[in-house]
Amino acid sequence: MKRTGAQIVWEALIREGVTTVFGHPGGAILPVYDAMPQYPVRHILARHEQGAGHMADGYARVTGDVGVALATSGPAATNLVTALATAMMDSVPIVAITGQVPTTLLGNDAFQETDVTGVTQAVTKHNYLVTDIDDLARIMKEAFHIARTGRPGPVLVDICKDVLNDETEFAYPEEVDLPGYHPYFGLDEQAVEAAAELINNAHRPVIIAGHGVQMAHAENELRELAERAHIPVAMTLLGLGDIPETHPLSLGMCGMHGEARANKAIQESDVLIGIGMRFDDRVTGDLDAFAPNAKIIHIEFDPAEINKNVPADVAVLGDAKEALQALMGKVKPAQHKNWMAQIEEWNRESQELDILNAEVDELIPPMVMRELWHVTEGDAIVVSDVGQHQMWEAQYFLHERPRQLLTSGGLGTMGYALPAAIGAHYAAPDETVWAVVGDGGFQMTIQELGVLMQERVPVKIAIINNGFLGMVRQWQELFYEKNYAGTPIQSPDYVKLAEAYGIPARRVTDRKDVTAALREAQEHDGPFLIEFQVKEEVNVYPMVAPGEAIDNLLRRRIVQGPSGLQPAW
Partner 1 sequence: MTHDPSTFNKHTIIAWLEDKPGVLSRVLSLFRRRNFNIENLSVGHSETPGVSRLTFTVNGDDQMVEQAIKQLYKLVNVLRVEDVTEKPAVRREMALIRVKVDAKTRPEVMQLVDIYRASIIDVSMDSLVVQAVGHESRLDSLIDLLSNFPITEMVRTGPVAMTRGAAGKNGNGKHARRMAL
Ligand X SMILES: Cc1ncc(C[n+]2csc(CCOP(=O)(O)OP(=O)(O)O)c2C)c(N)n1
Task: Supply the residues annotated as catalytic.
Answer: 49, 111-112, 161, 471
Which amino acid is residue 349, in one-letter code? E
Contacts of 32 (CB under 8 A, 6+ apart): 6, 9, 10, 70, 97, 99, 164
Say how many C-beta atoms besides its own lie within 10 A of residue 317's C-beta. 20
Distance (Å, whole) CA 42 – CA 55: 13
**Footprint of Mg ion (CB under 5 A):** 438-440, 466, 470
Decide if 130 contacts 101 (C-beta within 8 A): no
Applying CB under 6 A, does 466 fall inside the site for ligand X? yes
Residues 123-142 that bind partner 1 (CB under 8 A): 125-126, 129
Q: What does the alpha-carbon distance between residue 262 and residue 253 come to, in Å, rounded to a whole number?
A: 7
24 binds ligand FAD (CB under 6 A): no
472 binds, among ligand FAD, partner 1, ligand X, none (CB under 5 to 8 A by kind): ligand X
C-beta of 21: minimal distance to partner 1 in Å? 24
69 forms beta bridges with 22, 96
- Residues 303/317, Cβ–Cβ less than 8 Å: yes
Cα 166 to Cα 6, 133, 161, 361, 550: the distances in Å are: 8, 7, 9, 68, 58
DSSP 302-340: -GGGTTTSS--SEEEES-HHHHHHHHHTTPPP---HHHH
Scanning 29-37, 172-180, 199-207, 211-219 for contacts with ligand FAD by CB under 6 A, the matching segment is 211-219
175 binds partner 1 (CB under 8 A): no
Residues 422-451 that bind ligand X (CB under 6 A): 438-441
> Are 424 and 381 within 8 A, CB to CB?
yes
Q: CB within 8 A of 488, min separation 6: which ones? A: 467, 468
Cα–Cα distance between 40 and 17 in angstroms, integer? 11
DSSP state of 48: S
| Cα-based angle 283, 60, 494 (whole degrees, multiple of 5) | 80
Choose which of 346, 468, 494, 532 interacts with ligand X (CB under 6 A): 468
Judge contact between 358 and 569, C-beta under 8 A: no
Decide whether 142 or 439 has the Cβ nearer to Mg ion: 439
Minimum gap (Å) between residue 54 Cβ and ligand FAD: 15
In angstroms, what is the minimal distance from the CB of 338 to ligand X?
39
Q: Segment contacting partner 1 (CB under 8 A): 122-130, 164-172, 343-351, 361-369?
A: 122-130
- Helix and strand counts by DSSP (H, E) for the chain: 23, 24
Of 33, 170, 181, 484, the one binding partner 1 (CB under 8 A) is: 181
Please say which residue, 20 or 325, places its beta carbon nearer to ligand FAD.
325
Could you tell me the smallest distance in angstroms from the CB atom of residue 135 to partner 1? Answer: 11
For ligand X, which residue of 412, 458, 504, 526 counts as binding (CB under 6 A)? Answer: 412
Report the candidate in 407, 426, 414, 419 with the shortest Cα–Cα distance to residue 51.
419
Q: Which of residues 353-412 bind ligand FAD (CB under 6 A)?
A: 386, 390-391, 409-410, 412
Q: Binding to partner 1 by residue 182, rule CB under 8 A?
A: yes
Identify the residue among 11, 158, 221, 305 touching ligand FAD (CB under 6 A). Answer: 305
Q: How far is the CB of 429 from Mg ion (least distance, A)?
A: 30
Q: Give least dist CB 440 to Mg ion, A.
A: 5
Q: How many residues bind partner 1 (CB under 8 A)?
A: 25
Contact letters for ligand FAD, residues 84-103 (x by CB under 6 A): ------xx------------
- 287 sits near partner 1 (criterion: CB under 8 A): yes
Contact residue for ligand X among 3, 61, 298, 389 (CB under 6 A)? 389
Specify which residues 410 forms β-bridges with: none
- Specify the 3-state DSSP secondary structure of 78: helix
Contact residues for partner 1 (CB under 8 A)? 117-118, 121-122, 125-126, 129, 146, 178-182, 185, 287-288, 302-304, 307-311, 317
- Give me the residues that bind ligand X (CB under 6 A), please: 385-389, 412-414, 438-441, 464, 466, 468-472
Tell me which residues touch ligand FAD (CB under 6 A).
90-91, 151, 210-212, 215-216, 236-239, 253-258, 276-278, 280, 282-283, 300-302, 305, 319-320, 386, 390-391, 409-410, 412, 471
